[in-house]
Structures are given as C-alpha cells and as structure tokens.
Chains A and B, each alone.
Chain A
C-alpha cells in the first residue's frame, strides 16, 4: 500500500492503483469518459485531469497515472475545472447535439458531464461531422457523428470479446471508429460495444425510439438462455420488456452479455405467445378455460406408470421439484426426464461415478484463476459465449495457457499462443485416455492419485490407448498428444472444460469420466483454478439434475419414453416446455412417437410444432413473469423475481403443477419460497439457502467429492467413406436450444440452419457460400444453406440444430458423427 493525499485527505491505495482507482477507492469522484474498469487504461479523453504537486502542479490524467508514495493530488481546482470544461467544449464542437432524438439521452456520459460542468456555450466553431450512419445490420446502429473517439468499443471488442470488429481508421484529423475497409459492421453482435459507448454512437436498434431511458423501470433478473447464469437488467415500460440495460457491476461477468442475452428478450412480449389454454376438439385446438383443461389433464394423469413426462431445463428449481413430486407421489410414475436423457449423462453418470457427485468440480470464476486450460471442442465459445469471454481474458490478461482438443477450429484457436489439436470427429475420449496413459507411463501423476479407488486397475485398462495407436485413430500426431499431456500434467492449476447439450451426443458420461481421470491423476481438482467444468446447455440444466428430474430407479429416460410412446407402454405424455420435434434426434421417430401416444399435453410459451400436436396446450410464463431460482452450470443458485405481470390467462408452471396436485388430491406447497425451503433441506449443497439469502448475489451450492477412477469406453471412430463428410452437430453462437427462435434479435442475424464445409470440400463439390445444398444421411435428407469456412477440416461438416424451419434432426439420429453426402 502507498500513502497519498487527495484533496487534503490522507488516503492509502494499493501499489498497482492509478490515481483514478485510488480516488474511487476513497470515495472521491473524478469524472471519466474513456475509462472503463474492465478495460486497460487508455487516457484518450482528458476528462480525468488532476493536479499533482510533485509534478509541478501539471495537469495529468488520473486514469493512466500510477500512484506513488507521498503524492499530493488535487482533483478539482479552478484550473482543473476550466480544463475539463474546455475538453467538453472541444468534444461538443463536432458532436451533433441531437439529444432530443437520441436514445442515449438520459444515460449519456457526455450529456451528464456537460450538465455537471455547465457547458452552456462554446467558444469554438467548427463543422459537424457528416458520416453516413451504418444501418446495415439489424441490431447495432453506428452513428459516428456522435462519436467522441474514446475507443471503448474497439477496446472491448479486442480485450474481452476478442473479435476485433472495430478499430480506429483514417487516423489523423479524420480519425473515426470503423471496420475493415470502412465496411458495414458484421460481427457476433454481442453488443458489448453498445454497453460501453459513453454517447449515442452505438445503439441497440431493436430499442430505437421505443422509450426514453428515464421512463424505463429496471428489473434485475437471470438470463433464460444458456447455463452460464449471467445476470440481466431488464428495462420495462407499460408491462413490456423493451431492452436490456448494462450494469458494469452486475454478476461475475460484470454486465457482459452475448447476442442472445442482450438482444434475445423479445420472446417475452412476443405477439406469438399463447394467451389461453387450448383443447383439441374435432381434431382442432380450440380455446378453453383453465378449469376445463386441467380437469382433462388430471383425469389422464390417473394412469400411473403409463404416464411419462419431459420437462425443459428452463423451468425453475421449484417448478421442477414440484413436477417431480406430482409425478412420483400423486401420479405414481418414475418415467420423467429432461434434455433427451443423454445431454445430462456427463453429470448424472460421468461425474456421478468419477467425482461421486452430479456436479462440476470447478466454477466459471476458476477460469481466470487457472494457469492451464484444456478446452474440449471450440464450441464452448458458441454454446456459452460469456464463458468464452472469460477464456479470452484468462489467456490475454493473465497469460493462461490454452490448449484445445476439437474436431474443428474456432475463435478460441485464434487466441495468443493457443494450441489447437484438430482430431477426427468422435475421437475425443480416445485422445483423453491416451493422455491419461502418458501421464501414468511417464510418471507424471500426482502423489495423491494412488490413494484414489481404481488407480491400480487404470493402467491395465488403458493399455490399448498408447499414443501411437490413438494418434492413428484420431488423425493427430503422437508428439502433439504427448506435448499436451506433459503441459497439462505440469500445470499447477489445470482446468478442463467441455460443453454438453442435446446437440452434443458425443459428450457422454465416458467423456466426462475421461476428463475427470486427468484431473484426478494430476491432482487438478478441489482447488482454486482447477477441476473439470461441464458447460450445461440450458439456464437450469444443473438445477434439473440437482432436483433429480431425470430417470432414476428404473424409470424411463427421455429417449426410452418416446420409444414407449410408440409401442404403447406410455399412454399419456406431459411435455413441459420441451420441443422434441426439433431438439430430439431422429425427427421421424419423434413424430411417430408423438402421433402414437394416446394423450399429449404440452405446457409452453408458444404453439411450437410439438405443441401443435397436443391434445391440451397450457400457456405458461417466461422467466420474466415468474419468481424462483435457477442453478447455473457451475452451481451458482440465483433467485429472481418477476419483471412484468403475466397475461390474464397465463399461469406459471408452478401454478399448473400445484393445480394438478390438488386435482389429484395431493397437498400443494404454499409458494415457490416455501418449496425451496424443502428443497434446500434435502438437496446436497443447498443447505442453508433460501430465497431471502439468495436475493442479493445468489450463492454457490457446495460440491463435495468422493473421487474414483472410472475407465471410459472410447467408441471406435466412424470410418471415412468415399464422397461422404463426417457431420457433427452443435450449437450456433446466436442461438440456445429452440427458444431463441422466438427472440427476434438472434433471428435477425441467423434465421435458419446451415452446413459449414471446408474450402477443399466446397471446391470439390463446386459449392459456394449461401448455395442451397442437399444433405443426405441414412435417416433422411434436408436442404441447407452452405457456409464455406476456413475453420472446418477437409472431410468434416458442421451444422447447428436449433431451427424448426430447417431441422437437422431430419438427418441426424443421435450419433456423435453422421456420415452425409452434400450436393448442390
């Protein structure tokens, strides 16, 4: 710590602090415009000028000047105020001052500072800018006439997002922020640039002229898309969610959001929302009252074990727990599951066997504390973009070493010194096993490993996975596998990440165990910055596992339930929020199952293609209209309250399940809070948590581990076939599950499915970008737009799964790798 004097006040500050930091730490306000606590100091705007006595009273920028012992600083002498006023005069010289029509008005740093410093006249005269406004994309408007050249947008796009869409161009008197060749903006559209823009140069187009900033009510919430568990501030007016508002202090992610979180909120107030229960009469769905609908459903639920249920992991913990109680106690069935069953197997089988707990042994904040990251599949960036930001910052700011084991390259591969091992699709378990064998053979294992059950048998069991054999199988060089093994084993804090989800059929319990073995062998678990982090697909995937909402004790799992529908074992199917027709493998089979089942009830926000097949459709709430808790992929339990009132004829799933419990003569819990009390008492790690205690920041549910070595089975890689490509399914950056199809933002930039092929395969098939190609597999064929991509190796193709209009489930039956032909 150093001692210094700011405005006659004796203060202390850490050695690494700048004058700005020191002042802020001690409650002294220095105005800033170009500075952002998340970004590296830049010193462009000169608003933060202060006087330092030791520097002969010169005016120096507080945001870039480190503190030194005994510094005497004055932050608001008349000279300083005069200088700041001039800075503002100069900035306003070219600024259009079109505040009455600017959406930033009321939330604008430049406006606020102008007001604070009473700059009511300008001694200078100059022409205004005359830049054309970039309206070329549907999400981000760029009006460079309002720009003050603080560079925050360019810096956040580089330092955190690592995309680098924006930079200073035409440097000199005509400097402006622009893209390559002064083109229109074409990026990931995460909107981080909008969030830090201190003026109205970068604006969210979906919010243009929707409401004045000061007319919005702010409601904090938790994002309803992926498992990262980002916090949101929703801007609400007239009971409508109109925008998301940036709050740099919110959540572990400091307000950073991805395209889905920032722009995907429109599904909440979509006009396509269901507004009333529907009941099938004469083969048509017609409007019905809740009493009528629930009575029909309750009568069918008396079927006991011929009833089955699928629920989405977007429901709250309370809803899932109540649904489970309804099914187990009041209906009398064990047949319920979520995420098709296989998508949570990494947790419920893999980690359950390897760590003795169905939860990850690391948290998202561990990423930045680690010193060696092994990321399985570059898709981690697409499935969980904000986790991707954490990886970017870990590598760029903290010098964390990054190795990627993937079937294709991706944005993470471009990070400084990132090593990407591109293997043949489907061989990741074999490669991880080979690494485990190398660690054992080369005696790189940690001393603690020997005491873990299964250690003695592990070496024998992995005998087949010598580096050379696996190298041949996976298409990697044995030397690269050895290098990766040595790197991971040598790391003090090694962290392994992999995504799971309905699109990642290859990311199984075996993959989880294979990754866990590496952590157990090297002692990389149970410590800060270490462990294996399974990135679950949906906002409450981990919660669904924690609530035990999956097949256990002989109950049927997701895929078995659909089979039982086809063969008559299940007569009543209750689907709460899932859309199996688009998200479960093998569309034809799913369709046959839903047609075969005697009675189908669907609770949903929208009339999805699955809901359209139902006998009863129940309109339910989005996350913004209910209260409850979500558990993020790293087991952060977070409480949220409704941001808007629900529609008159819409109920929460909690109310639906409560109603049904009562119809069946059971006892329903008084409220979600009361039920959470019961949950907390019996769920491992949730002890002591309550809605009240989670109100502020949420809390991590503790994870206790009893490790064991498990030998993962590696599937034989799919043999290459002449003229066919190995298709792997995954997630697109802009989407999450099937819900984001109803969020206008994501659909603006990615409306339909596509297939990414390598340059060489495209050339061989005479395929160019955006060509419509026919993709055929053993289970069907579909037309998709082609993307020709540098990141895809020859012989491989990639397709995202989210889209009802172009469902890849038509050609994909749930295998990790599908051989397909692609032709024009």
Chain B
C-alpha cells in the first residue's frame, strides 16, 4: 500500500448517505454507457467520489470496482477526496507563465498554506495549477469557482484570499 493510500485509509471518511447516490443511479440505470453520467452526477451531489460510493456504484452497475477506479483516475474532472467550497485555479500555461504565473502560484501557496491539488483542512479552499484556461489575453489569470480574475498580481492574491475567507461556507 502506498503512503498516500495508507494515509487516506487512516483518515476516516465521513458518514455517507448512499440514498443520494441511489437516486442518481436510478436515473441512469437502464442507459447503456451509464458509468460516466453516474459518476458525474454523484460527484455533483457529494462534491467528490467517496470510496464507499464508488463501491456501491460498482455493485449496482455490475462494473468491477477496479475499472471504476481506472476511470476516476483517468479524468481530471473526478475527485477522490473532499474538495474545498472555493476552487482556486491559476493558469500556468505559456502566456501566463511568461507574465509571472509562478510568483502568483507561490503567493497562493504561502497565503493558503497548501500546495497544488490540496485542500485546506476547513474545506474552504482547494488550489490547482491548470495548463490553460483559454483567456491568454488576461494573463496571468486566476479563477475562483466561476469568477475570473485577469491581470493577477501578488497584491490581488491577498485580496482574493481575504475576500473568500469571509464568505459563508454553506
């Protein structure tokens, strides 16, 4: 067992209500090729895919649990750990890189105390470096959930973090 997995196993997963997953599965159960929409629907509900839910999907859709894990680890869109309320994405594509994205990333790391693809313990923030957000004219670029912040500076990082730190979690 790798360290990451051992650690994951130690962190006890919160109680999960499987009836939410069942409602999603029921919707797609008779459609061929239903694994992707089920996984997407379930992630929408829980915010991530808890292991017990993945196993439950395997049982109900009669797909090997290993295959589900293969799919989950192939697509960047699926998450196996709880995610923050606010997802901060900073572009590190070519244009943003040239415009100083590495310093923006470093500043976020400092302010949030987490690294790439990590979540703060209070489940407020998740930080991700992404390859391109498709708005190179606004480089360097950051996004928080669906809001876009162009022409990022070190100062703006502080403002964003303090702004979102005050918003309600629910």
Q: Which residues of B contact A181 (CB under 8 A)?
A: 5, 8, 51, 54, 69, 80
Judged by a CB distance under 8 angstroms, whether A215 is at the interface is no
Contact of A164 among B3, B8, B66 (CB under 8 A): B66
Do B2 and A180 touch across chains, with their CB atoms under 8 A apart?
Answer: no
Contact of A136 among B1, B3, B73 (CB under 8 A): B1
Q: Known: A167-B64, A180-B54. Contact between A132 and B2, CB under 8 A?
A: yes
CB distance from B97 to the nearest CB of A (A): 20
Do A165 and B2 touch across chains, with their CB atoms under 8 A apart?
Answer: no
Contact with B along A180-222 (1 / 0, CB 8 A): 1111100000000000000000000000000000000000000
Main secondary structure of the interface of A (DSSP, over half): loop
Q: Which residues of B contact A328 (CB under 8 A)?
A: none
CB distance from B16 to the nearest CB of A (A): 15
Do A165 and B70 touch across chains, with their CB atoms under 8 A apart?
Answer: no
CB distance from A270 to the nearest CB of B (A): 32
Do B1 and A169 touch across chains, with their CB atoms under 8 A apart?
Answer: no
Do A171 and B2 touch across chains, with their CB atoms under 8 A apart?
Answer: no
Question: Of residues 1 to 15 in B, which have CB atoms within 8 Å of A's CB atoms?
Answer: 1-5, 8
Do A172 and B1 touch across chains, with their CB atoms under 8 A apart?
Answer: no
Residue of B62, B66, B70, B80 with highest tally of chain A CB at under 10 A = B66
Q: Which residues of A contact B58 (CB under 8 A)?
A: 180
CB distance from B58 to the nearest CB of A (A): 8
Judged by a CB distance under 8 angstroms, whether B67 is at the interface is yes
State the CA gap A184–B1 with chains docked (Å): 6
Judged by a CB distance under 8 angstroms, whether B44 is at the interface is no
Judged by a CB distance under 8 angstroms, whether B59 is at the interface is yes
Judged by a CB distance under 8 angstroms, whether B37 is at the interface is no
Q: Which residues of A contact B80 (CB under 8 A)?
A: 181
Contact of B74 among A131, A172, A184 (CB under 8 A): A172
Do B64 and A158 touch across chains, with their CB atoms under 8 A apart?
Answer: yes
Q: Known: A170-B73, A180-B68, A181-B69. Contact between A414 and B5, CB under 8 A?
A: no
Do B64 and A164 touch across chains, with their CB atoms under 8 A apart?
Answer: yes
Contact of A182 among B5, B54, B64, B68 (CB under 8 A): B5
Q: Which residues of B contact A180 (CB under 8 A)?
A: 54-55, 58, 64-66, 68-69
Judged by a CB distance under 8 angstroms, whether A179 is at the interface is yes
CB distance from B12 to the nearest CB of A (A): 15
State the CA gap A596–B144 with chains docked (Å): 84
State the CA gap A486–B55 with chains docked (Å): 36
Do B59 and A167 touch across chains, with their CB atoms under 8 A apart?
Answer: no
Q: Which residues of A contact B66 (CB under 8 A)?
A: 164-167, 169, 178-180
Interface residues on B, range: 20 to 34
Contact of B70 among A136, A167, A184 (CB under 8 A): A167
Do A182 and B2 touch across chains, with their CB atoms under 8 A apart?
Answer: yes
CB distance from A264 to the nearest CB of B (A): 26
CB distance from B13 to the nearest CB of A (A): 11
Do A790 and B59 touch across chains, with their CB atoms under 8 A apart?
Answer: yes
Do A167 and B69 touch across chains, with their CB atoms under 8 A apart?
Answer: yes
Q: Which residues of A contact B68 (CB under 8 A)?
A: 180
Do A171 and B70 touch across chains, with their CB atoms under 8 A apart?
Answer: yes
Do A132 and B1 touch across chains, with their CB atoms under 8 A apart?
Answer: yes
Residue of A132, A134, A136, A183 with highest tally of chain B CB at under 10 A = A183
Q: Which residues of A contact B70 (CB under 8 A)?
A: 167-169, 171
CB distance from B22 to the nearest CB of A (A): 15
Do A183 and B74 touch across chains, with their CB atoms under 8 A apart?
Answer: no
CB distance from A395 to the nearest CB of B (A): 13
CB distance from A152 to the nearest CB of B (A): 15
Do B2 and A167 touch across chains, with their CB atoms under 8 A apart?
Answer: no
Do B2 and A169 touch across chains, with their CB atoms under 8 A apart?
Answer: no
Contact with B along A785-818 (1 / 0, CB 8 A): 0000010000000000000000000000000000
Question: Of residues 134 to 188 in A, which have CB atoms within 8 Å of B's CB atoms?
Answer: 134, 136, 158, 163-172, 178-184
Residue of B1, B58, B80 with highest tally of chain A CB at under 10 A = B1
State the CA gap A131–B2 with chains docked (Å): 8
State the CA gap A181–B2 with chains docked (Å): 10
Q: Known: A132-B1, A181-B5, A183-B5. Contact between A169 and B69, CB under 8 A?
A: yes
Among residues of A, the one whose C-beta sits closest to the C-beta of B74 is: A171
Q: Which residues of A contact B73 (CB under 8 A)?
A: 169-171
Q: Which residues of A contact B59 (CB under 8 A)?
A: 790
CB distance from A810 to the nearest CB of B (A): 34
CB distance from A155 to the nearest CB of B (A): 12
State the CA gap A52–B64 with chains docked (Å): 39
Q: Which residues of B contact A134 (CB under 8 A)?
A: 1
State the CA gap A180–B54 with chains docked (Å): 9
CB distance from A188 to the nearest CB of B (A): 13
Among residues of A, the one whose C-beta sits closest to the C-beta of B58 is: A180
CB distance from B43 to the nearest CB of A (A): 16
State the CA gap A164–B64 with chains docked (Å): 6
Q: What are the 3 A-B residue pairs with the smallest beta carbon separation, nearest first?
A: A164-B64, A180-B65, A167-B66
> Can you offer 14 A-B residue contacts whose CB atoms are under 8 A?
A131-B2, A158-B64, A167-B70, A169-B73, A170-B73, A170-B74, A179-B69, A180-B54, A180-B64, A181-B8, A182-B5, A183-B5, A184-B1, A414-B62
Name A's B-contacting residues (CB within 8 A): 131-132, 134, 136, 158, 163-172, 178-184, 414, 790
With A170-B73, A178-B69 already in contact, 8 other A-B pairs whose C-beta atoms are closer than 8 Å: A167-B66, A169-B69, A171-B74, A178-B66, A179-B69, A180-B58, A182-B69, A183-B5
Name B's A-contacting residues (CB within 8 A): 1-5, 8, 51, 54-55, 58-59, 62, 64-70, 73-74, 80
